Amino acid sequence: MRDLRLRWACEEAGLPYNVQTIPFEDRETNHLMLQPFGQVPFMSDGELQLFESGACLLYLAQKTEKLMPRCAIEQAHTNQWIFSALNSIEIVSVPWWFLNISGNAENDLTKWLSNRLDQLEAILSERDWLVADTFTVADLLMADVLRVPSVRAYGNRPATEAYIIRTTDRPAFKKAYADQMVHFELADASRA
């Protein structure tokens, strides 16, 4: 779930936060004012109400150098890789994943995704992090897009695999992930 991205960013940045659950039932009446497409995640910070995980991450990143360098050029490069993760990788990986789980494993998106992942593998073979030799919110997002089990298991791309391990080995990811699992379990139990 894409809400993990926001948790993970807050953990990396040491920002206090709390997570709430919103039911997917009756989205027309209880959800659309907060997220016009009825999706999650969305967030608030004081008066600010924000949706789109990429926009939320960029907002959080402006609060701390731990997520984005302060140098204008490096910020531009962070933005660039944020858009790449969403608009060059996830734009293919999500429809590909959807076709796969709905029984269309032989689909035309496979070649497209494969090409994108190979191109990214070439980049990740040459460096540990996407921007400025350091972990940024762009790595957080790219790793979250890539770590989807079917996407990461698809093909042999050792640099990409090492990158996902490097990013998800971070204490902030581990805490965010563990907390999210507990959150889901409690939410399921309260619905049962």
Ligand X SMILES: N[C@@H](CCC(=O)N[C@@H](CS)C(=O)NCC(=O)O)C(=O)O
Binding site for ligand X (CB under 6 A): 1-2, 38-41, 52-54
Cβ burial, residue 185 (10 Å; 0-12/13-18/19+): exposed
Q: Which is nearer to ligand X, 59 or 155 (CB)?
A: 59
Provide the residue count of the chain.
Answer: 192
Taking the C-alpha atoms of residue 34 and residue 49, their distance in angstroms, rounded to an integer, is: 7
In sequence order, the 6+-apart residues with CB closer than 8 A to the CB of 134 are: 69
Q: Which is nearer to ligand X, 57 or 120 (CB)?
A: 57
The token pair at 1 is 């779930």
Closest residue by beta carbon to ligand X: 39
Helical spans, DSSP H, in 23-71:
27-30, 53-61
Q: Output the smallest distance, CB 156 to ligand X, in A.
A: 27
Q: Output the smallest distance, CB 53 to ligand X, in A.
A: 4
Q: Which is nearer to ligand X, 34 or 132 (CB)?
A: 34
Q: Which is nearer to ligand X, 61 or 157 (CB)?
A: 61
Q: Output the smallest distance, CB 3 to ligand X, in A.
A: 7
Q: Output the smallest distance, CB 108 to ligand X, in A.
A: 22
